Structure 1
């Protein structure tokens, strides 16, 4: 199987699981609600597992930058849409810089493979 498909596929799954885990972290009310807490822990565990699979094909710094950067952008969007959390202009500009950084790393860096 193509290593790019495996590395990006597992990285996308890791990001989605991390975002789900962070969403349930918000819903857990500081671990006082059992089901959201269990779902959070499960999602984080899956996220780290799939991130570890990604690291077989991609350097840790690049994988972590993409994982954390897209996670920040996605959870910010979820916070805005579902939790009615506001984002000011500075936050939106910062999130834009994160997206641009991810594009630069993926489009121009030769560091993506081991």
Structure 2
């Protein structure tokens, strides 16, 4: 498999680990619940380790922008879908802009 494609797949896995970590962190209730707290820490550690592998192949600025943008959008969308958080027009517009920025960076930022 192409090393650049592998890096993008690792980046997607890192983003997924970060989003899952954020969901677990919400359930950890200030780390008063052991299992969700440990899951959050484990997911965050996995996300950082995967990012370290991605940075061997992709530029740091591009990688971090895509990672952060997708992590923010994914966490916010799952907060809306799973936890009933507000889905206001302003919030959805902001998330759309984040996703658009990630798409532009991914397509033209290399």
Structure 2 unaligned spans of 5+: none
Name the Cα RMSD after superposition.
0.9
> Residue 16 of structure 1 aligns with which residue?
16
> Residue 56 of structure 2 aligns with which residue?
56
- Aligned: 1:88 with 2:88: yes
Structure 1 unaligned spans of 5+: none
TM-score (norm 2): 0.96
> Residue 32 of structure 1 aligns with which residue?
32
Number of equivalent positions: 110
Residues 57-91 of structure 1 deviation map (CA, whole Å, 9 limit, x = unaligned): 11111101000101111111110111111121111
SS in 2 for 1:8: helix
Quote how far apart the aligned CAs of 1:53 are. 0.4
> Residue 47 of structure 1 aligns with which residue?
47
Quote how far apart the aligned CAs of 1:109 are. 2.1
Equivalent residues of 2:7, 2:58 under 8 A apart? yes
SS in 2 for 1:56: coil
- Aligned: 1:75 with 2:58: no
Equivalent residues of 2:62, 2:109 under 8 A apart? no
CA distance in 1: counterparts of 2:61 and 2:12, whole angstroms: 16
